[in-house]
A and B are shown apart, each in its own frame.
Chain A
Amino acid sequence: MKKVIMGNHSVSHGVMASEVKVISAYPITPQTHIVELLSEMCGNGDIDAKFIKVESEHSAMAACVGASAAGSRAFTATSSQGLLLMHEMLHWAVGARLPIVLANVNRAVGPPWSIWTDQNDSLSQRDVGWLQIYCESNQETQDTIPQAFKIAEELQMPVMIVLDAFFLSHTYEIVDIITKEEVRKFLPEYKPEIKIDTKDPHSFGNLGGPDVYMELRYMIQEAMEKGIDVIKRVDKEFEEVFGRGYGLIQPYRCDDAETILVTSGTVSSTTRAVIDQMRDEGIKIGSLKIRVFRPFPFEEVFEVLSKAKKVAVIDRNISFGNGGIFYQEIKSALYGRTDIPIVGYIAGLGGRDITPSVIREIADKAIGDDKPERYINWIGVKK
């Protein structure tokens, strides 16, 4: 059934259709609608889940850890400072290999206090070990939730799905709403081999000496690497049932493109409009949306970008002392191809709008500058 709904509610519908058993969350702008609707769904019986109210995001994730360890499908949603407060427990979910799904609404980190979007909250969790999938539309957001559970449960790894504050979270779009009955054809019931069972007590998360620690970490990396194929396969299985697929990355008019703009999140849609405009002008330009950030799809990205003459990366984030975080990833993906200049553009921090003219400015700069002096460029800073 098609409905016009907001991005946050797309998440809620995805969670409902995935028949999650435990939801624990703490409210934070701009995420709150997600759990508000979920609590209503729990209240009126649309979803047979336990909704656990907690006093902080740290506890929210701790509750999900407990629920997942006990064999339940668990979900939480958060944003910005909330995600940062969860940090310790995010590590725990990975180390304990728990297939929790978290929706993070990208919101800039304070101070100065901000409620508007940028990616520094989720990207600062880059090395924790969560899979990260960045969404672009309400439809994609909803569809990614059951995908995320399937991926997570197969890999026994937690998955974070990420959406932009306001540009997605509060924007209404037409969404073909999926139902539990449909999702059952795609996502099987979660029946973990290992779970906490009071009748068969083991110690979980106990002391692991130097003789076992590395092996456990090795297995996490192994799961991440295996993740690329699993995500691809799960996406295909989803497409078979629902007729929609999203891939690891989404190249747009890249086949003969000399310049490729690399994007993520909602900026990707705006960029495509600019690409079409420039193509009409005869400029050979394309764009590449990175959907799956962890595990990073090195091969797929190399495959697309290695054919270009120039790559421009738009980052709505900043790793201070280095540069854009996607920029670093793209550089490492193209390692060895010194013939392709890769230029980074920092734009849209703290919710500053990235309009078509901003993207056009970046594209023109990238094309016009054959030997850029700076590889980290700030767009729109009042100097």
Chain B
Amino acid sequence: MTDETTHALALVPEDLPKAESFLKPHRIVLMLLFLALVVAVAVFMRWDWLPRYLPRLGSGILVSLAMLFSTAILGFLLAVPLGLVQVTGPWFLKAPARLFCTVIRGTPLLLQLWLLYYGLGSLFPQFPAIRHSFLWPYLREAWPYGLAALTLSFAAYEGEVMRGAFAGVPQGELEAARAYGMGRWTMFRRIWLPRAVHRALPTLNGETVLQLKSTPLVATITVIDVYAVISKVRQETYLTYEPLLLLALIYMCLTGILVVTFRYFENRIPTRGA
């Protein structure tokens, strides 16, 4: 996926409004209209269920965020070797890495999730060795499968990004590192990886927002994230729109916070010329 596509799919820091140009006459009118809409939604729709579910919503948000950050970190750790071997590895590493990326990127995440949960989940109990191992209490729960599926998916997309980033680091910089007598590992650690991550950072941020947008899928395998809590609300109160609107609002806030954080970090990294 190219930079521009990630930008088209996920909110990125440059989309945030600039303060100085934000307030214009027509915007004030639009905002008043929007405010009226919000007030109408708050007054005419039913929100009396909200206080009862607030604690559960909070823990649901925490689960969603935990899923997001753990899978993004684990996925990135997998993506670095995936990208690296595709640029410089021998063919017997390059081919499986490319195959992995193609297969994961070519099939829907929901299908992968269900394959892991229902497929592996139905397979594991048939092996006594697994059933008696220390992992079994975890494997009986749903979240390890969600974690695995999201991590693999993030790793595949990110591996492709890192491949481009590793390949895009100017050869001269690597030659300079070699000329200074750096070993391969030192060169990778000091020059190649930081430069590649720097190049990939905007795309990485976009992919992380995309990953946040993928996390509600784990609710389909009974992980109680914020989406699952809202589904529960919908079942118990027979309301259709109110919980979903709240859910959309929650995700917009989460995305907004994520994007603002990314802008902060992007601005802290010095770039030449800018």
Chains A and B bind each other: no
Residues of A within 8 A of B (CB): none
